[in-house]
Structure 1
């Protein structure tokens, strides 16, 4: 497979477009002192990320547009949300969720 200059520039451009919005906020926040209310609001981001990731997997639409809830996801969500609220740490939240999901899959 050959790689043309246009394809290489497209790949580099896609990398930049993907990375800049993810890295720029971290650079800006380091240089600016945020008000306490904004810092408190940003503390809820791990919970928002958790919700976005889990809720999409917790529900599925089956044939005939029947909405189905996957109970094992809901069971794993309970300790994970508790860890997110209690610690406000994304790493601890994710680790708790992975362990909870693994244990539930082991037992169910």
Structure 2
């Protein structure tokens, strides 16, 4: 197998491995009804994922020490949170966060 064929096969296998876990839940939930408790828990899943990603962005990990907060990201968090609560629009929230962090990096 030549290098280009190997790379092509590696890309296809990688795409398949990434695609299967993302599509499989949709296929299963289309044909099977979930128990009420599972459906209720799944309603909280996006909130927990967003919270975990957000906390990961706001904290600076230190090897062998306690994580500390990143100052600029924490300052930019509050205007973005305000826009998120006020508008409930993800695009406006992201644009606000990016704009505020850009301004903070220019002036600080």
TM-score of the two chains, using structure 2 as the length reference: 0.61
User: What is the match of residue 17 of structure 1?
Assistant: 17
Q: Deviations over 1:8-51 (max 9, x none)?
A: 3332132133345557889xxxxxxxxxxx9xx69xx5x66654
Residue 84 (1) aligns with residue 77 (2): no
Structure 1, unpaired ranges of 5+: 27-37
The residue correspondences of 1:31-46 to structure 2 (distance < 5 A) are 45=46
User: What is the match of residue 37 of structure 2?
Assistant: none
Q: Distance in 2 between matches of 1:23 and 1:84?
A: 28
Q: How many residues in Structure 1 have an aligned counterpart in Structure 2?
A: 96
User: What is the match of residue 32 of structure 1?
Assistant: none
Structure 2, unpaired ranges of 5+: 27-39
Tell me: higher relative CO, structure 1 or 2? Use CA pairs within 8 A at least 6 residues apart.
1
The residue correspondences of 1:1-108 to structure 2 (distance < 5 A) are 2-5=3-6, 7-19=7-19, 45=46, 51-108=51-108
Q: Secondary structure at the match of 1:62?
A: coil
Q: Distance in 2 between matches of 1:95 and 1:59?
A: 21
Tell me how large the CA RMSD over aligned residues is. Answer: 3.4
